[in-house]
Amino acid sequence: MKRGESPISTLGHIRACDNSPAVSEPPRVCETGAVTAPSRTPETPPSLQVVAVVGATAAGKSDLAVELARTLGGEIVNADSMQLYRGMDIGTAKLTGSERRDVPHHLLDVWDVTEAASVAEYQRLARAEIERLLAAGRVPVLVGGSGLYVRGAIDVLEFPGTDPDVRARLEAELAEGGSGPLHARLAAADPQAARAILPSNGRRVVRALEVIEITGRPFTANLPGHESVYDTLQIGVEVPRPELDGRIARRVDRMWEAGLVDEVRALEREGLREGRTASRALGYQQVLAALAGDCTEDEARAETVRATKRFARRQDSWFRRDPRVHWLSGADDARDGLTGAALALLERPVTA
């Protein structure tokens, strides 16, 4: 939310806006591939805002987002990068039909598992959904733990172009020597980027080095600041670390019991193992290793828990750096009051 501005003033006014006429021009696409929001027209209800629910995995974001959407007359826009993949349901904790409670959900099951994820493409899709909902007088409720996807949807963010020759050379180095030497090069060129990108994530390391070579600037210089495209209220759901770790372990157990191994086996037949992004998703990467005989299924299960806990810490660190996020407790002893606390933020002026 822009500094000094307030979110939706009253819940009653939101409901009154549901049938208000609105006109919206389509989003504009920059040469870089970034999407800029069109200017608001006088017919667009000025109090209609975007709500974003963010935080670590297993914190309870999805349930809160559904409750908010039901109360506000809104619809969900997914901001979890792995939930955009078709068929990746169990391992991404995608809500079932009944769990969505008749609230429309958008940007789920968009990509095949063989497609590489693209923040620029997600930005285009998310901005289009947000604009469509605003024009219809609906409240977009963005929810997810993929920090860059959230920022791409609601903040000013343009993407540097790509150079096929540079990319091909770096990918050849990755294939020949692995990601370690490239990550060391990144650490020398942009220490902040190296700290944020795992050494094992060769695709992101290659992209960071490509951007540095093309632009002559650190990769982190191209990351978004805190300039909003939409007046957005960001609600962070926080859970004490020991409690969150317990939730993660139980969630992984439920995923295995629900048939994650069979889901991965079926997706492998559709090309999951060759998918540069989907094959590295938490749980899927570990099960693929077990199916290849690189580890036992029990080892894959334990590693999924460990990797998810590490990932949750990185998510928390990312969102904590954004001063605009208003944090609410999602702990077990505060769950009954979580929705009310979130709605209270919407009823009074809030500044970042």
Alpha helices (runs of H) in the chain, residue ranges in sequence order: 11-16, 61-72, 119-135, 147-154, 164-177, 179-189, 191-196, 202-215, 241-258, 260-269, 284-291, 297-320, 338-347
Q: For the chain, give percent helix, strand, coil, nearest 5.
A: 50, 10, 40
Residue found by looking up tokens 């996807």 in the block: 149
Tell which residue, 130, 157, 316, 311, has the closest CA to residue 236.
316
DSSP state of 295: S
Contact between residue 70 and residue 328 where contact means Cβ atoms under 8 Å apart: no
Higher pLDDT, 289 or 158: 289
**% of residues, the chain, pLDDT over 70:** 85
Question: Buried b / exposed e across 295-333, counting CB within 10 Å, b at 16+?
Answer: beeeebbebbbebbbebbeebbebbeebebbbebbbbee
pLDDT attached to residue 307: 97
Under the banding of pLDDT at 50, 70 and 90, the label for residue 196 is confident
Please state the rounded mean pLDDT for residues 178-198: 89
* 146 has a pLDDT exceeding 50: yes
**% of residues, the chain, pLDDT over 90:** 70
Tell which residue, 137, 149, 132, has the closest CA to residue 27.
132
Instruction: Count the alpha carbons within 13 Å of 293 in the hemisphere toward its beta carbon.
Output: 0
Distance between CA atoms of residues 291 and 286, nearest Å = 9
For residue 157, the surrounding DSSP H or E stretch is none
Class level of CATH domain 164-215: mainly alpha
Class level of CATH domain 50-157+225-347: alpha beta
pLDDT attached to residue 186: 94
Higher pLDDT, 14 or 48: 48
Distance between CA atoms of residues 262 and 109, nearest Å = 18
Contact between residue 11 and residue 1 where contact means Cβ atoms under 8 Å apart: no
Quick check: helix, strand or coil at residue 341? helix
Under the banding of pLDDT at 50, 70 and 90, the label for residue 39 is very low
Query: Which sequence spans correspond to the domains of the chain?
Result: 50-157+225-347, 164-215
Q: What is the pLDDT of residues 201-253, one digit of tens each?
A: 888 899 899 989 998 888 877 776 788 899 999 999 999 999 999 999 999 99
Quick check: helix, strand or coil at residue 198? coil
Under the banding of pLDDT at 50, 70 and 90, the label for residue 50 is very high
pLDDT attached to residue 348: 59
Distance between CA atoms of residues 150 and 127, nearest Å = 11
Contact between residue 233 and residue 345 where contact means Cβ atoms under 8 Å apart: yes
pLDDT attached to residue 160: 76
Q: What is the mean pLDDT of the chain?
A: 86
* 16 has a pLDDT exceeding 60: no
> Which residues is 74 bridged to in the sheet?
139
Please state the rounded mean pLDDT for residues 69-93: 98
Tell which residue, 285, 280, 284, 243, has the closest CA to residue 60.
243
Task: Specify the pTM.
Answer: 0.79
Under the banding of pLDDT at 50, 70 and 90, the label for residue 3 is very low
Same fold, 50-157+225-347 and 164-215: no
Cα angle for residues 240, 246, 252 (degrees, 5° grid):
130
Q: What is the pLDDT of residues 269-328, one digit of tens each?
A: 999 999 989 999 999 999 999 999 999 999 999 999 999 999 999 999 999 999 999 999
For 318-324, the CB contacts below 8 A with 24+ separation are 318/147, 319/54, 319/55, 319/147, 319/236, 322/226, 322/234, 323/226, 323/352, 324/1, 324/226, 324/228, 324/232, 324/234, 324/352
